[in-house]
Chain A
Amino acid sequence: MRFSVRGRAVLEVALLSVLAVVMLFPVLWMIETSLKENRDVYAVPAKLFNFDVTLDHYRDVFVSSGLSVAFLNSVIVAGASTVLATVLGVPAAWAYSRFAVKAKKDQLFFILSTRFMPPVVVVIPIFLMYRYIGLIDSALGLILIYTAFNVPFTIWMMKGFVDEVPAEYEDAAMLDGYTRLQAFRKFTLPLLVPGIAATAVFALIFSWNEFVFAIFLTSSDEVRTAPPAIAGLIGGTTVDWGLVAASSVVFALPVLIFAYLVRKHLVAGVTLGAVRR
């Protein structure tokens, strides 16, 4: 069967629209649920449009649910681990890009493969280790493990950005009398700033969304980050789905904004810096 060019285009657009609606419906439903009165949340049949809008659930997120502490913890843990991973990862990426390091390829592959270890497996010895040195249920423990988990990504992602800056800039600066380190700081580093920003944003998203380490390595409300705290909302006998939806929206919104800011680097970001286009 052959379609005319026009008929085919219409069919393609229709198919694409259906797929887009299916993919976006859950997100839309989450936002709707967060704005509904409780009786409408559980309405059967579900109310798609005709519901009263309320901001009560959002108020609950910040006031009565105790989630604000968890959000603050998330900001601290994600922020600190991102800064640490950047400070450790960017110089390493530069060194891997510029110098003839022994078995460079093997080292880089080793670094990336640490990121692929199943978290449930890694968490068993980490749990014992932390119990031994007293890092269980502490922000520092989470920051350390998230840094370790973001450093491989930072190195791979940043190496791509450093590779794009010609090494000749540094060579020329060194002919002018700068040392290698000064050449890096004054000429290469400024050119890397957009790349560093994009890399840091991805690291921030990874730490922000992380759940497995958070749930096993922390337990008290004062230390807990947002993902286990939100998951804890469904622990009881009755679940306030409006609150779950509202806190999910509050939790996801910064991620979506950040992801939009780095959309140009998404391919590299989500493949841990391995695929570049």
Chain B
Amino acid sequence: MSDRVSLTTDRPGRAATPKPPAPVRSRRLTDRRLAVAFIAPALLLLLGMSVFPLLWALYLSFTDYSATRGGPANFVGFGNYTAILTSAQVHLRAVTTLVYVVGAVTLQTVLGFTIAYLISRRTRGRGLLTTLFLVPMMLSPVVVGLFWRFMLDAQFGVVNSMLGSLGLGQVEWLTRQRTALISLIVVDTWQWTPFIMLIALAGLTAVPKYLYEAASIDRASEWFRFRTITLPLVWPLLLIAVLFRAIEAFRLFDLVYILTSGGPGVSTETLSFHVYKVAFLGFNTGTASAYGILMVLVVIVLTQLYLRYLNKLKED
């Protein structure tokens, strides 16, 4: 017995003390110990780097602490929260964020699904097309933001240059209040349409062929097939992609920072950009923490929705 064990193990030293045939109970105990040993390090890291900081922020949100002024943190109760929730500035940013999130995610979904649908109907070149379409998504927001800033430049940007050669007027994309938010939506759409496309394509290619065949035997119209077969089968997956994008768009910071820095004025200041300004330019750490905690609450609600649909999708 011990011979056989030492033949098949790397460390004969350990095999030198052969274990008695493990009864089920004790094996379960070592399994549990193993599970704890394997899971605990990862969870500890998350507790230290995610949960603890958030708890600290929660504590700070009830104080008037300032990271630059230093000094003791005085307890102010819900003062920071009422200040944030009643602030007209914050309301404005909430509207901007809503316009941005809804606008960008809607555009991405429509475009992404259209591209996926068109690709799924091709038989040749599908792989190459998909790969090409995916390029924007893999780029860093820094690269995307910088480059669009260059392309949208009012004087020498290629977009205005093209509009000019088409005989159209010049647009101040990033320096006008209204167009700046539109530009932000356009750039985000450019980057993330591939995401929706990728997931929609996964859904579309998973639709069983025989359903379409059955429908064509019944001489069902194209639109009828799309409405009764394609859409219901792809919808659950698409919804997950949309929710995922909504969460990401809500927390977006880098693109705003690079593309417009919130300007002109405050026209492209989303909530996360405003938090940054309160925390790092205004140095009101307590207020910024309360602001952040409120944002986390929104994210938690969205994440719960996302996870619920994900769970549903997995059970089907």
Contacts and interface: CB of A to CB of B under 8 A. Distances in A.
Contacts of B67: 127-128, 131
B143 A252 contact: yes
Interface string B277-315: 001100001001100110110011011000100110100
Contact of A33 (B140, B150, B276): B150
Q: Most chain-A CB neighbours within 10 Å: which of B32, B142, B289?
A: B142
Interface string B136-147: 111111110111
B139 A266 contact: no
Nearest to B248: A116
Interface string B14-48: 00000100000001001110110011011101101
Interface stretch (B2-10, B75-83, B171-179): B2-10
A26 B140 contact: no
A52 interface: no
A120 to B, nearest CB: 5
Contacts of A76: none
Given A24-B135, A125-B54, A148 B49 contact: yes
Interface stretch (B86-94, B158-166, B211-219, B225-233): B158-166
Given A126-B49, A211-B257, 12 more contacts: A44-B155, A113-B307, A121-B292, A121-B295, A124-B60, A177-B1, A227-B140, A228-B142, A248-B143, A255-B140, A274-B310, A275-B240
- Which 10 pairs across A and B sit closest by C-beta, in order of nearness? A121-B292, A148-B49, A125-B53, A209-B140, A118-B251, A95-B38, A91-B38, A46-B161, A114-B50, A92-B42
A155 to B, nearest CB: 6
Q: Most chain-B CB neighbours within 10 Å: which of A24, A116, A267?
A: A116
A248 B147 contact: yes
| A contact patch SS | helix
A196 interface: no
A45 to B, nearest CB: 5
B118 A12 contact: yes
Interface string A228-259: 10110110000001001100100110011001
A37 B227 CA distance: 53
B198 A270 contact: yes
B202 A177 contact: no
B135 A256 contact: yes
Contact of A125 (B56, B143, B161, B165): B56
Interface residues of B, number: 105
Contacts of B54: 117, 122, 125
A277 interface: yes
Interface string B205-245: 01000000000000000000000000000000100110010
Given A99-B31, A208-B140, A271-B240, A248 B146 contact: yes
Contacts of A256: 135, 138
A33 B149 CA distance: 13
Interface string A82-112: 0000001101101110110100010101011
Given A92-B42, A113-B303, A120-B272, A244 B202 contact: no
Contacts of A231: 142, 145-146, 258
Interface of B: 1, 4-5, 8-9, 19, 27, 30-32, 34-35, 38-39, 41-43, 45-46, 48-54, 56-57, 60, 67, 111, 114-115, 118-119, 121-122, 129, 131-143, 145-151, 155-156, 158, 161-162, 164-165, 190, 193-195, 198-199, 202, 206, 237, 240-241, 244, 247, 250-251, 253-254, 257-258, 272-273, 275-276, 279-280, 285, 288-289, 292-293, 295-296, 299-300, 302-303, 307, 310-311, 313
Q: Chain A: interface residue count, which band?
A: 35 or more
A182 B147 contact: no
A59 interface: no
Given A124-B288, A181-B34, A230 B158 contact: no
A180 B202 contact: no
Given A144-B49, A245-B147, A44 B38 contact: no
A260 interface: yes
